[in-house]
Structure 1
Amino acid sequence: MSKIVYNPNIFEQEDIDKAKKIILTNEGDLKSEERWEKETPFIVDDIVEKLQINENMTLLDFGCGIGRVAKELIEKTSCKVIGVDISSSMRDMAKKYVNSQNFKAISPQDLEENIKKGFRFDAAYSIWVLQHCLSPQMEIDTIKKALKKDALFYVLNNKISAVPTNKGWKNNGVNIHDILKLRFEQLDESSLPIEIADEKISKLTFISFLKNSKGFKTLSSNQEVINLANQALQEYKKGNLEACKKLYLKVLEIEENNEDALANLGVISKALGNSKEAINYYIKAIKINPHNALTYNNLGNALKDVKDYKRAIQAFSDCIKRDPKNFNAYNNLGITFEALKDSNKAIWAYKEAVKINPNFSKAVNNIGVILYKQEKYEEAIQIFKIALNIDKNYHELHSNIGACLNKLKKYDEAIKSLDLAIEKDPKNAGAYTNLGNVYNKIHEYKKAAKLHEKSIELAPNGVNAYSNVGTSYKYLNQANKAIESYKKAIELDPSFVNAHFDLATMYLAKGDYENGFKEYEYRFQKDEMKAHIFNNKDIFSKPMFTGKEDIKDKTLLIHSEQGFGDSLQFIRFISDIKEKFSCKIAVKCRDELKELFKCLEEIDILTDRSEDTPSFDYHLPLMSMPYILGIKDIKELKQDKGYLKAKKDDNFKITKKKGTLNIGICWSASVTGESYDGKVFDLSYLEKLVKSEKVNVYSLQVGPEKEDIKKLGFEDDIIDLTEQLTDFSKTASLINELDLVISSDTSVAHLTGALNKPVWVPLQKIPDWRWQNKGEKSLWYPSAKLFRQKTNRVWDSVFQSIYDKLFSNFKIKV
């Protein structure tokens, strides 16, 4: 993707009418011509009064456009005006429009030459110009050098910068108001009256009346330094940062304590990606002038870049002490608090920024982003709408609203909002990836992949887009492309936890357990695991076993962490751990598993979560056992003929009758589990089985989903003993009496496989990693038979295969 480059060509216009529309754009209900007619007389009168203009004065019109203010001033006072504009076409039109011997139009380079020759202006004004400058600090310094000592300076400007680039108008985050106050003595401040503009324009602008007295003596009097600084400015404008840096370094060779050179070197170093070097320059500049609020703000941003958040907070606080109304510093402070995951302080800082500048839409948006992260999606949408009301051109807000609607599962509304974001700003990479996420959610993975690919094309370093397109590829069954995408996301952001976890599942699905279980360890850094770690801090505060410690005859606590199915699947490794490390095994599991796990002779101590944690030397999460054991390939799994055992329970009196099958069924799963929607199927798919006279159907479905039996009118057809299934030991006893279990991808399937009882598992097209993506056998459970969707979300063919298999295996036709 091409870089964002300063593009002032927008100011090159063919004729006066087009120039007027650029100089004064349409704003709200006010058209360019109307603004021209209303603003110009007010501005001219205000300048004449405040700058005390007379016929003997020569004024600098910085950014003169076609000379609309100069023309009126000359006619009113007979003063002389020299207009400076970056656009050659504007300068040519200004000469024709003003049409006076008292007016000249020159280029910025000509202005620099006149300054070098010693020419100084009696006063200056700049109208709607400084917000468009690439480097307003340097432009303001040029104006300062061009003015006589104690000369007056009148500025009408927007509070928000809008720099023309090849990618459209961009806010460069520079607070022009701060720079003016730093460089000049402020005599008065106001804004355009509502009756001259309108309420919106009035709120978004300021008029500063300034005096060139403050810090006048700090400007270098060394002509060589002045020349080098001017050259540096020109190189900066061209984007030649390295050349600009060399020139400022030459300035320091002459004047080692030149504050401007040091501060500007900080800006350049940061732009070149060397934030540590920038920090050093800023600190040196602050030592020379500890009162410069702008340098503290820049220092804070550089410290934030290197994640030195504590010092960044101090720098922003120092900026605010020197300039209590610096809303940008408050906003940056909020961003820093966010990085420290202190949402309350971040929101406070953003609110302070908005108090100072109610039209600071960026800070309002940042509050919405925090609410989004807190999963307060409805509240976030309202905040984003407030920001959009402040700035209708803040098109990213449509994307943020769309992301919230996606989380609220309002997919149609989300698509409309995100389509609008892309229509308003076709180069907004984030909008494409947010829209791709919606299509991922509604299972339109080809569309989603194209959108994520477009996002990557626009922003090649967008880590989320790589991760999200990986998910699209995953469900398009393009495993290698998914892996490469996740790896690219991790390359760009090594701490991207979700990308590590998703990469783990792709490796595991391919049977690459060496890489898979290594990456799977990142699960503990996921937000979803934080509550579990906090609730078990008595365990996690002690040493975790890495496999390198000598734990012979010591106690290793194995503890469950996720769903029941995970515990049932991974408890098989207990015997391997005990054999390899010759340790005592203590297990702490969920309450419903304790009675079942008593069958494992390798366990020396067994407790559940309602009991105190037993004394131990090291702990190990249950799902980390294969990683510690160094299992590299799925083929290394022992083909256990049942590693769990069921007790005989006479309460389950299952009738055995020749020609009749006893089949247990489970059709739903935990709603908190991964991919819930894809795993579960409607009980109605089993109607033929339920209604068959050759099958006794037993429900193994616990929880609210068992109400489906009543909803479908199957009360007389399904034997429901689930009131007796108070824990997994009871469920195991019932399964042990059955001929077959048909279960969704849930704990019942894992339990049946662990008991080595026949289990048929209907699977979505791209199932959970442990079932892999092809084949009807499971290396985890030899007794399992897998029935896979041919088409995503379509179960009909799956159950037809199940009914066919019933006939071929048991001669039962349903």
Structure 2
Amino acid sequence: MSAPPVWTDASVNALIEQVRPLLVAQRYEEAEALLMPHLASGTGPIALWRLLAAALRPQGKLEATRAIQEMIVAQVPGDYSARFDLSETLLLLGDFERGWREYRYRYSLAHTASMERKVQRPRWNGQPMPGQTLLIHDEQGYGDTFQFMRMVPWAKRQSGARVVLEVNADTLSLARRLDGCDDIVVRGELPPPFHQHCEMMSLPMAIRLTLDDLPGPMPYLRADPERVAHWRRRLDALPRPLVALVWAGRPTHVNDANRSLRLDQLAPLALPGVGFVSIQKGPACVQAEAPPAGMPLVSLSDEIRDFDDTAAILSIVDLLVSVDSSPVHLAGALGCPCWTMLPFVPDWRWLMQRDDTPWYPHMRLFRQTRRGDWDDVISSMREALSRWAAERRA
């Protein structure tokens, strides 16, 4: 057996300079092939193992990725970035017990420092605290808030505390219709005195969430009846079945290039007898001005003022078809039918190799079978939509 190579800073840096451009260009197989001979002995610089994990994960080689990430964490336990990367792999594989523990390191990273709430009170770890006040506050994107709101009443039951929920202004009105909290404040306002606090996405660790606990009572969010009445009048004349579309996420999202489409890519969904409305927000909404041929699409984007409008529309249409974005979580929380398009290796919450999700019982997942290829996804969705529309008409 040949001896493992002797590494110098110069030789390590030279290999890193070869591999990084391949990762940036998403040429992951080439990056793996370049690294493997140097790490075949099972030893080598940590920096190269990090690059190998970054090459393996997008290929869906998650068990191999997990083994490397666990080795890095064991060797460098103070590397919080590595611990966060491991957490996302663990959660994607469904290992909630350890995944949630490692996920707490998300606030030790440079790009998340601005989200961390500096609180001079202990973080709630799931223990009873009757007679005291627990502050639960949101922390990340809108979709995360909609997904994890379900755990606020769970935390109240487990803690026995008076629960104060702090949310951003855009989700405030929906949060007011959530059961299980005693008071609600808007982020930026001074909350009432409290004894302990917990980020909304730390609740799974505190309550020791398992897959068997999901989905919990459904639905846990409700649309505003007045908005529902308004949108029912607005949509009453449109053909049924009626499908709402979202084809692009937030452009500033770190993974947006892998999750967003163009509206014209959804052209195969234009089936006879199916009506469409666009609830797309952001720069991509202008694409609705020139919909695919044969797709009767009404754009509602300019009329949608807030998430209450979106919730009302989702409560009226027959189906939401969307990429991975906040409306799918809102639809799921409302118990509205939703079909979600996912990239080959999706965000951790969608798990792997299943077309349903334990988070939302009325959601169906359509996954890429090849990295970057949306054609198969849309082809499968067209077949499913054709059967679904026929059943609706029948």
TM-score, with length taken from structure 1: 0.45
Query: Where do 1:356-435 residues align within 5 Å?
Result: 428-435=11-18
- TM-aligned CA deviation for residue 522 of structure 1: 0.6
Counterpart CA distance in 1 for 2:106 and 2:294 is 42
Query: Where do 1:170-569 residues align within 5 Å?
Result: 428-454=11-37, 456=39, 460-533=43-116, 536-537=117-118, 540-548=119-127, 550-569=128-147
Counterpart residue number, 1:807: 386
Letter in 1 for 2:212: K
Counterpart CA distance in 2 for 1:588 and 1:769 is 25
Counterpart CA distance in 2 for 1:2 and 1:456 is 9
Letter in 2 for 1:568: F
Distance 1:726 1:616, change over 3 A: farther
SS state of the match for residue 765, structure 1?
coil
Letter in 1 for 2:242: N
Q: 1:661 aligns with which of 231, 236, 241?
A: 241
Counterpart residue number, 1:223: none
Counterpart CA distance in 2 for 1:715 and 1:612 is 52
Distance 1:526 1:454, change over 3 A: farther
SS state of the match for residue 341, structure 2?
strand
Answering whether residue 258 of structure 2 is matched by residue 684 of structure 1, we say no
Please list the CA deviations of residues 90-111 of structure 1 after superposition, one character each: whole Å capped at 9, or x if unmatched. xxxxxxxxxxxxxxxxxxxxxx
Q: 1:641 aligns with which of 205, 208, 218?
A: 218
Counterpart residue number, 1:734: 313
Counterpart residue number, 1:584: 162
Counterpart CA distance in 1 for 2:362 and 2:212 is 16
Counterpart residue number, 1:773: 352
Letter in 2 for 1:576: W
Contact 1:433-1:451 at 8 Å conserved across structures: no
Counterpart CA distance in 1 for 2:39 and 2:13 is 9
Distance 1:458 1:431, change over 3 A: farther
Please list the CA deviations of residues 424-479 of structure 1 after superposition, one character each: whole Å capped at 9, or x if unmatched. xxxx2233234333322322221112233345469945223222212222222221
Counterpart CA distance in 2 for 1:460 and 1:498 is 21
SS state of the match for residue 150, structure 2?
helix
Counterpart CA distance in 2 for 1:734 and 1:517 is 34
Counterpart CA distance in 1 for 2:17 and 2:212 is 39
Q: 1:614 aligns with which of 182, 192, 208?
A: 192
Structure 2: runs of 5+ lacking an equivalent: none
SS state of the match for residue 230, structure 2?
coil
- TM-aligned CA deviation for residue 498 of structure 1: 1.7
Please list the CA deviations of residues 646-678 of structure 1 after superposition, one character each: whole Å capped at 9, or x if unmatched. 122232125457972111110111223242111
Answering whether residue 274 of structure 2 is matched by residue 719 of structure 1, we say no
SS state of the match for residue 593, structure 1?
helix
Counterpart residue number, 1:753: 332
Counterpart CA distance in 2 for 1:641 and 1:581 is 21
Paired residue total: 386
Distance 1:694 1:716, change over 3 A: closer
SS state of the match for residue 697, structure 1?
strand
Please list the CA deviations of residues 544-576 of structure 1 after superposition, one character each: whole Å capped at 9, or x if unmatched. 22234x421211111111111111111111111
The answer to which structure, 1 or 2, has the higher relative contact order (CA under 8 A, 6+ apart) is: 2
Contact 1:429-1:455 at 8 Å conserved across structures: no
Structure 1: runs of 5+ lacking an equivalent: 5-166, 171-395, 397-427
Counterpart CA distance in 2 for 1:493 and 1:433 is 19
Identity percentage of aligned residues = 25
Contact 1:776-1:786 at 8 Å conserved across structures: yes
Please list the CA deviations of residues 206-247 of structure 1 after superposition, one character each: whole Å capped at 9, or x if unmatched. xxxxxxxxxxxxxxxxxxxxxxxxxxxxxxxxxxxxxxxxxx
Counterpart CA distance in 2 for 1:800 and 1:2 is 48
Distance 1:615 1:672, change over 3 A: farther
Contact 1:487-1:503 at 8 Å conserved across structures: yes
From the CA coordinates, give the structure whose radius of gyration is larger.
1
- TM-aligned CA deviation for residue 802 of structure 1: 0.7
Counterpart CA distance in 2 for 1:804 and 1:638 is 28
Distance 1:601 1:639, change over 3 A: closer
Distance 1:434 1:465, change over 3 A: same
SS state of the match for residue 811, structure 1?
helix
Counterpart CA distance in 1 for 2:148 and 2:373 is 30
Bigger mean CA deviation after superposition, 642-651 or 581-590? 642-651
Query: Where do 1:75-224 residues align within 5 Å?
Result: none
Counterpart CA distance in 1 for 2:268 and 2:60 is 32
Counterpart residue number, 1:630: 208
Distance 1:436 1:712, change over 3 A: farther
- TM-aligned CA deviation for residue 812 of structure 1: 8.1
Counterpart CA distance in 2 for 1:578 and 1:515 is 23
Contact 1:461-1:492 at 8 Å conserved across structures: no
Q: 2:174 aligns with which of 596, 607, 624?
A: 596
Structure with the bigger percentage of helix:
1
Counterpart CA distance in 1 for 2:48 and 2:292 is 47
Distance 1:452 1:496, change over 3 A: farther
Counterpart CA distance in 1 for 2:103 and 2:145 is 15
Please list the CA deviations of residues 33-62 of structure 1 after superposition, one character each: whole Å capped at 9, or x if unmatched. xxxxxxxxxxxxxxxxxxxxxxxxxxxxxx
Query: Where do 1:47-86 residues align within 5 Å?
Result: none
Counterpart CA distance in 2 for 1:697 and 1:753 is 19
Letter in 2 for 1:685: Q
Counterpart CA distance in 1 for 2:290 and 2:31 is 36
CA RMSD of aligned residues (A): 2.6
Letter in 2 for 1:640: P
Contact 2:274-2:389 at 8 Å conserved across structures: no
Contact 2:155-2:203 at 8 Å conserved across structures: yes
